[in-house]
Amino acid sequence: MQLISKQMTGYMEKSSWIRKMFEEGIRMKQEFGETNVFDFSLGNPDLPPPSAVKDALCEIADQADQPFFMGYMPNFGYPHVRERLAEEVTKEQGVDVPADCLVITCGAAGALNAVFRAVLEPGDEVITPAPFFVEYTFYAENHAATLVPIKSKPLTFELDLDAIDAAINDKTRVIIVNSPNNPTGAIYTRAELDGLAAILEKHNAKRDRPIYILADEPYRFLAFDGAQVPSLLDIYKYTILCSSFSKNLGMAGGRVGYACVNPAIEDKAPLIGAVVMANRILGFVNAPALAQKLLHKALGSSVDVSIYEARRKAMADVLDSAGYNYTMPRGAFYFFPEAPGGDDVKFCAKLQEEKILAVPGTGFGYPGYFRLAFCVHEDVILGAREGFAAAREKA
Ligand code: PLP
Confidence of residue 85 (pLDDT cuts 50, 70, 90): very high
DSSP 134-196: THHHHHHHHTT-EEEEEEPPTTT----HHHHHHH--TTEEEEEEESS-TTT-----HHHHHHH
Q: How far is the CA of 218 from the centre of ligand 1 (A)?
A: 6
Cα dihedral sign for 262, 332, 291, 278?
positive
Out of 3.40.50.300, 1.10.287.40, 3.20.20.80, 3.40.640.10, select the CATH number for domain 66-298.
3.40.640.10
- Can you tell me the distance from the alpha carbon of 117 to that of 139, in angstroms, rounded to the nearest whole number? 9
DSSP 277-332: HHHHHTT--SS-HHHHHHHHHHTT----HHHHHHHHHHHHHHHHHHT---PPPSBT
- pLDDT at position 14 is 62
Ligand 1: lining residues by beta carbon, under 6 Å? 43, 107-109, 133, 178, 182, 216, 218, 244, 246, 252, 257
pLDDT beyond 80 at 5: no
Say if 2-50+303-394 and 66-298 have the same CATH topology: no
Structure confidence by residue, pLDDT tens digits, 173-182: 999 999 999 9
Q: Counting atoms of ligand 1 from 1, which one is nearest the CA of 181?
A: 3
Q: How far is the CA of 278 from the centre of ligand 1 (A)?
A: 19
Domain spanning 2-50+303-394, CATH architecture: Alpha-Beta Complex (3.90)
- Can you tell me the distance from the alpha carbon of 324 to that of 50, in angstroms, rounded to the nearest whole number? 34
Q: Residues 6 or more apart from 124 whose CB is under 8 A from it?
A: 144, 145, 146, 171, 172, 173, 174
Least reliable range by pLDDT among 16-20, 103-107, 130-134: 16-20
Q: How far is the CA of 341 from the centre of ligand 1 (A)?
A: 31
pLDDT beyond 80 at 287: yes
* Residue 46 β-bridge partners: none
pLDDT beyond 60 at 383: yes
Q: Counting atoms of ligand 1 from 1, which one is nearest the CA of 133?
A: 3
The answer to whether 97 touches 89, Cβ cutoff 8 Å, is yes
pLDDT beyond 90 at 264: yes
- Can you tell me the distance from the alpha carbon of 85 to that of 335, in angstroms, rounded to the nearest whole number? 31
The answer to whether 223 touches 330, Cβ cutoff 8 Å, is yes
- pLDDT at position 359 is 95
pLDDT beyond 80 at 2: no
> Which residue's CA is minimally distant from atom 5 of ligand 1?
182
Of 5 and 209, the one with more pLDDT: 209
Q: Counting atoms of ligand 1 from 1, which one is nearest the CA of 43?
A: 8
Q: How far is the CA of 393 from the centre of ligand 1 (A)?
A: 34
- Can you tell me the distance from the alpha carbon of 154 to that of 355, in angstroms, rounded to the nearest whole number? 28
- pLDDT at position 15 is 63
DSSP 340-368: TTS-HHHHHHHHHHTTEE-EEGGGGT-TT
- Average pLDDT across the chain, whole number: 95
Structure confidence by residue, pLDDT tens digits, 302-354: 999 999 999 999 999 999 999 999 999 999 999 999 999 999 999 999 999 99
Mean pLDDT of 229-240: 98
pLDDT beyond 80 at 16: no
- Can you tell me the distance from the alpha carbon of 308 to that of 378, in angstroms, rounded to the nearest whole number? 9
Q: How far is the CA of 300 from the centre of ligand 1 (A)?
A: 19
> Which residue's CA is minimally distant from atom 8 of ligand 1?
43
- Can you tell me the distance from the alpha carbon of 242 to that of 112, in angstroms, rounded to the nearest whole number? 6
Question: Given ligand 1 and candidates 133, 187, 220, which is best to mutate, with the most ligand atoms within 8 Å of its CB?
Answer: 133
Confidence of residue 9 (pLDDT cuts 50, 70, 90): low
Confidence of residue 266 (pLDDT cuts 50, 70, 90): very high
Q: Where are the domains of the chain?
A: 2-50+303-394, 66-298
- pLDDT at position 73 is 97
Question: Given ligand 1 and candidates 216, 248, 260, which is best to mutate, with the most ligand atoms within 8 Å of its CB?
Answer: 216
Q: What is the DSSP letter of 103?
A: E
